[in-house]
Amino acid sequence: MATIIYTHTDEAPLLATYSFLPIIQAYAAKAGVEVETRDISLAGRIIAQFPERLTGEQRIDDALAELGELAKRPEANIIKLPNVSASAPQLKAAIKELQGLGYDLPDYPESPQSDEEKDVRARYDKVKGSAVNPVLRQGNSDRRAPASVKQYAKAYPHRMGAWSHDSKTNVATMGEHDFKSNEKSVVLAADDTLRIVLEAEDGTTTVLKDSLPVLAGEVVDATVLQVAHLHGFLRNAIARAKSEGVLFSVHLKATMMKISDPIIFGHVVRAFFEPVFAKYGDDLAAAGLSPNDGLGGILGGLDRLPNGAEIKAAFEQAIADGPALAMVDSDRGITNLHVPSDVIVDASMPAMIRTSGHMWGPDGQEADTLAVIPDSSYAGVYQTVIDDCREHGAFDPATMGSVPNVGLMAQAAEEYGSHDKTFEIPTDGTVRVVDGSGAVLIEHDVAAGDIWRACQTKDAPIRDWVKLAVTRARASGAPAVFWLDETRAHDATLIAKVNAYLPEHDTDGLDIKILTPELATAYSLERIRRGEDTISVTGNVLRDYNTDLFPILELGTSAKMLSVVPLMAGGGLFETGAGGSAPKHVQQLVKENYLRWDSLGEFFALAASFEHLAGYADNPGAQVLADTLDRATGTFLDRDKSPTRKLGGIDNRGSHFYLALYWAEELANQTENADLAAAFKPLAETLAAQEQTIVDELLAVQGSPVDIGGYYRPDDAKASAVMRPSATLNEVLATLG
């Protein structure tokens, strides 16, 4: 039997899985397709790291490692739902929850001293940040809005906030002394093993990384963000926000860039509360209260200090004296600086642009904002969009074009593969990247506290990326634009490779160009306003940013994108969209038994997965499942069966019922496979006849709190009962068996 792996992840996508997966498995089995799960949730990844401390019943296999190996084989067919890319506070919260559930897990060592503590810290660091995607993404990314979704967005445009010519919203970025400006890049002539060493000013040498294997043709970059200049930049940005009367907000990616961005976030917290840290910094450090964990973590630990009330008052005074802070939750007093993972740049910036360039202020009102994005590598993209909206007004979803993306991400390409090569420098000196012969390839003068990182991009993924760009340009007829800046070291290296590899493909009649990210943004926006499509061909981080930015403006969400990763070994990875809103959906479910999560991304990924399987497994029934699911999804959109916005309407569970109904009807009425038609005809008739009963059962449970047994590790029985409350639907599905 052919197999699809459906990933067991976290938060709202996981809760939706309890409802949708039984439908998938029942339908797929009729075509000889088995749908299995693998646990790559944050809790699952933590548990897998400590088998020797757990009981036999508690132990689980390292599913992520297993899927990483599967992704390198041609039979891979993996549906990947959004997972938690854990910041340090999230990781600690998950550990605490698991300990409360009886798992004998060690605490997370903040400052490991013993060998045992260092080992524990190393294991936990394996699951922190973007631990999943670099393992599974053994191919480049093809993300686009399905035609049915785009048509729906045009027919039922989402709300867009109006823009004023007088808007004072802007981006503040360093522009010098940052990762972009200090970057150096080399291409390796042959296979080698590199080393990264720090030579201090007193001549002592520290090996930062002893072994860095590289392949011929591989691109290696290194750069440093100089914190002394970061501090000056932040002081100026804080003063600018106050003088201009706008909100101050910082936009980073502390979950994905799990070493560098939490440190940068900590510097922002320090800068905003500079007088407090000048006076009480030693007290806070002694209590283990780090600015890297955010203001929320500090305030939550002040009761352990004898002068905690005094320090809290100092923080409150600093907030009163500074510029107004952008808020994550103004009702609860949660600021932009409370938790590093609360304001993620690729989700927060498009949301701000969509809302008139506003964020929420402490008074609960929207206001213009100074969006602080310290590193200038991609900040100009957002400034360009802001300038465009200030001049031309908000975009119109009913008429605007689309910006699909071809993203370079295979084999941990670029910045997202930098975690094991990112260091907070302990002393003044020089960092060098040296080859096997001892020759220096790259070097930087550094000061204590600077953030230095190296990145790798292998040649095979770059070749595959260029090929995928040409393929998509040919298939769509849209221009393809490589977002590369010749003044940035890494991009200049990639431009040379793109120019070398493009002639390997038939590009006659295609419009393929290379533009800086800022010019590419302006070009794409000009076409968007004319209703025209433009393919953005980008590196890994811009892939993430663009596949949130443009879908949020076009569709209202990035969760409705079709995200296909043609794996380089021949298999397929099918991603279901972003999970940035997932935590809020869980909170609402627990409070009101209402899950607003939209599973449309899962529907699209599943259809693509069936289609892929039909080809490599020679399973015509799987192709019928794909075709009928695609048509059913179109009906689902036409009849507007996505979760409604408030209690009293169908939620995620109701949307799954309607998808099941329309899918069964399509299967019953198709003529390609008589056995499948016969199998699904009774089901379709019963679901249609029981529609009102099932909907009434689903609606009846809304409005009361529910217990799912845990946030990071829900109890399967409890979560399943909550997410499958219609006895009628459950009984009807069971008849398929």
Residue-level pLDDT at 509: 96
Q: Is the pLDDT of residue 448 over 70?
A: yes
- Name the pTM for this structure: 0.85
What whole-number distance in Å separates Cα of residue 85 and Cα of residue 717?
25
Is the pLDDT higher at 722 or at 86? Answer: 722
Q: Is the dihedral of CA 630, 40, 334, 703 positive or negative?
A: positive
Q: Is 525 exposed, middle or buried (0-12, 13-18, 19+ CB in 10 A)?
A: buried
**Rg from Cα positions in the chain:** 26
Burial, 100: exposed, middle or buried (Cβ in 10 Å; 0-12, 13-18, 19+)?
A: exposed
Euclidean distance between CA atoms 640 and 541, whole angstroms: 33
Q: How far apart are the first and last CA of the chain?
A: 16
Q: Which residues pair with 325 in a beta bridge?
A: 248
Q: Is the pLDDT of residue 186 over 70?
A: yes
The H or E element spanning position 487 is: none
Cross-strand pairs, 200: 429
pLDDT at residue 244 tops 70: yes
Of the candidates 546, 472, 464, 565, which has an alpha carbon nearest to the alpha carbon of residue 512?
472
Contact 424, 451 (CB under 8 A): yes
Give the pLDDT of residue 256: 79
Tokens of 429: 């000196």
Decide: 711 and 43 in contact? Cβ < 8 Å. no
Predicted confidence (pLDDT) per residue in 563-578, tens digit: 899 999 999 999 987 6
- pLDDT over 70 for what percent of the chain? 99
Question: Is the pLDDT at 442 greater than 70, yes or no?
Answer: yes
Q: What is the DSSP string of 498-553?
A: HHHHGGGS--TT--EEEE-HHHHHHHHHHHHHTT---EEEE-HHHHHHHHHHHHHH
Separation of alpha carbons 336 and 241, rounded Å: 14
- For 333-353, the pLDDT digits (tens) are 999 999 998 888 998 999 999
Structure tokens at 385: 């969009």
Question: CA–CA separation, 531 vs 524, rounded Å?
Answer: 10
Per-residue pLDDT of 30-71, as tens digits, reads 999 999 999 999 999 999 999 999 999 999 999 999 999 999
pLDDT of residue 134: 83
Q: Where are the beta strands (DSSP E) in 162-261?
A: 170-172, 184-187, 192-200, 205-214, 219-225, 247-250
Question: For residue 38, what is the enclosing H or E element?
Answer: strand 33-39
Q: With 90 as the cut, is the pLDDT of residue 616 above it?
A: no
- Return the pLDDT at 560: 79
Q: Residue 464: CB partners within 8 Å, gap ≥ 6?
A: 139, 140, 410, 568
Q: How far apart are CA 208 and CA 316, in angstroms?
A: 40
Q: Is the pLDDT of residue 580 over 60?
A: no
Q: What is the pLDDT of residue 1?
A: 63
DSSP-derived secondary structure letter, 485:
-
Tell me, what's the pLDDT at 149?
A: 86
| Distances from the Cα of 721 to the Cα of 587, 698, 706, angstroms | 17, 12, 10
To the nearest whole number, what is the mean pLDDT of the chain? 95
**pLDDT (tens digit per residue) in 655-667:** 999 999 999 999 9
Query: Quick check: 646 pLDDT over 90?
Result: no
* 507 has a pLDDT exceeding 90: yes
Judged against a pLDDT cut of 70, whether residue 331 lies above it is answered with yes
pLDDT at 248: 98
CA distances from 367 to 240, 323, 599 (A): 15, 12, 32
Contacts of residue 492, defined as CB under 8 A and 6 or more positions apart, other chains included, come to 185, 484, 485, 486
Mean pLDDT across 300-308? 93
Residues 6+ apart with CB under 8 A from 403: 524, 528, 533, 534, 535, 536, 546, 550, 554
What count of other Cβ atoms lies within 10 Å of the Cβ of residue 440?
A: 11
Q: 248 phi and psi, to 5 degrees? A: -100, 130
DSSP tag of 205: E
Predicted pLDDT of residue 219: 98
Higher-confidence position of 672 and 341 = 672
Residue 581: pLDDT band with limits 50, 70, 90: low
Name the residue with tokens 């230095």.
Answer: 452
Reply yes or no on whether the pLDDT at 136 is more than 80: yes
Please tell me the predicted confidence (pLDDT) of residue 579: 60
Mean pLDDT of 401-409: 96
